[in-house]
A = this chain, B = another copy of it.
Amino acid sequence: MAKITIDFNHMLASGIGEHGICEEEIARYAGRIAKVHEGLCAKRQMNAWRELPHNQDEIVRDILQTAEKIREKFEYFVVFGIGGSALGMKALFSALKHPRYNELPREKRQGPKIYIVDNVDPDSLNALLDVIDIRKTAFNVITKSGNTVETMSQFMVALSMLENLGEDLKEHIFLTTDKEKGILRKIANEYGFQTFVVPDGVGGRFSVLSPVGLLPAAVIGIDIEALLRGAAEMHALCQKPALEENPAYMYAMLYFIAMKKGVNISVMMPYADGLLCTAEWYAQLWAESLGKKVDIRGNTVHAGQTPVRALGVTDQHSQVQLYNEGPFDKIITFVTVQNFRTNMQIPASPIEMRDTQYLAGQSFNKLIASEQAATEYAVTSAGKMNMRITLERVDEESLAALLFFLEMATAAAGEFLEIDAFDQPGVEAGKIATFALMGREGYEQKAEELSKKEKGNPDFCYECN
């Protein structure tokens, strides 16, 4: 059972004073919930990510079988994917596995070492090759379109290295892509690679509970059935029509009101190292879904709120000065954990610790909880909007419930903003320019345009050498 508490009290004027949301504002916008609910129901068919907790029995069986094979046979498991094809998996891995998983001996890991490769930095790619043995490596290549230049380039490296070693490509390569379309599907058909499907209606940032996230998760021994159970539980809650029963609607409404008031930053600040990647995953979900130039009627709106990922307690010593004393331009979402896996004592010291002696005999568990409470107290006293999501513990069910809650909240926020939360037209310009600069056929005109480099004003360009 997923156990999560979501407390919005510090979003309100009653909780933080004049910069909070007042009753009249809530009264004004709560009336929109019916329309938001209707909008989400109408979109449910095209939003196939909402069905993922419910319709994957057969897929799960396939995944578990393949994962078992990979676990037995390989020492290294490399995921090539970027954006939504990497972030969900990173969130699962960081939250649910040993924090130093790759450094453990194999018998403690009970699975291959895992590397999620989501950049094309030449030094990093080269460094990866320094520490894996290609012969003992399985590659999971994830791109729905088969068009993702970063992922496809990495795939070409793996193919070439495997071929040079005389390995059977089919044994090492697992493709996750569209069921019919795209280059990767064609390649799979021609060469007989094993594949998994990114279903239609599941955008990258909503794909964590599809085979995109589930296959790698299963390979490293995450209980994927428990993930789906946790998500299903949260879905039951977040499809309720009434605001007072549905935390996703409350989240969407309060954030929407905050945006209306000029609050353009959303900080997610977990107090658990393992949840930092969840904040990273949320950053894509929230930014890419809501950052839109036009609304559904075609009006120019430049909507969007900038997500920031922070980490407690670490960022108390980096960002909290700004949060406490700076502008009233952000919401801080604390994510706290009631029960860590470990109970870690602060021992009595063999030497006289003077003023810090009081720490002896207490626990790090109490310390991190106290620091969260103290920081929440401080930002609340400073009148800054904040809220708290509490997980009783970080396990498969709770984590998936948290992710699903945030997906539902994001979709609902899209309805409030009256924008399309499921497209990403704003990345096209950059993709096209990249194709042009890399000399892809059909992009010659753009290449021509880009080659006419603007000359900047040299007065605003400095050289240090």
Contact = CB atoms under 8 A, between A and B. Distances in A.
Given A99-B124, A157-B347, A304-B327, 20 more contacts: A4-B465, A86-B314, A122-B365, A123-B274, A124-B273, A149-B367, A160-B348, A183-B355, A237-B464, A247-B464, A250-B460, A265-B265, A265-B306, A284-B318, A302-B328, A321-B425, A355-B440, A358-B438, A374-B430, A378-B426
20 contacts: A2-B465, A4-B465, A9-B457, A14-B457, A15-B454, A84-B317, A104-B131, A118-B317, A119-B313, A123-B340, A125-B342, A146-B356, A159-B350, A186-B354, A288-B322, A291-B322, A292-B321, A358-B440, A373-B433, A373-B437
Interface in A336-357: 340-344, 346-356
Contacts of A27: none
Given A321-B424, A326-B302, A346-B157, A120 B284 contact: no
A362 interface: yes
Contact of A356 (B149, B355, B360): B149
Contact of A99 (B123, B244, B320, B352): B123
A37 interface: no
A43 B326 CA distance: 23
A426 B157 contact: no
Interface residues of A, number: 166
A363 B126 CA distance: 12
Contacts of A190: 351-352
B434 A169 contact: no
Nearest to A392: B465
Interface in A265-290: 265, 271-274, 283-284, 287-288, 290
B325 A121 contact: no
B322 A304 contact: yes
A58 interface: no
Contact of A430 (B118, B153, B316, B364): B316
Contacts of A160: 347-350
Interface-central residue, A237, A291, A424, A430, by most chain B CB under 10 Å = A430
Contacts of A354: 183, 186-187
Contacts of A102: 103
A220 interface: no
Interface in A113-164: 118-128, 130-131, 146-147, 149-150, 152-153, 155-157, 159-160, 163
B381 A131 contact: no
Contact of A321 (B124, B273, B288, B368): B288
Contact of A319 (B120, B283, B330, B381): B283
Contacts of A11: 460
Contacts of A342: 122-123, 125-126
B156 A360 contact: yes
A437 B327 contact: no
A247 B464 CA distance: 9
A29 interface: no
Given A358-B440, A373-B450, A364 B125 contact: yes
Nearest to A354: B183
B8 A461 contact: yes
A403 interface: no
A342 B157 CA distance: 15
Contact of A367 (B153, B291, B302, B343): B153
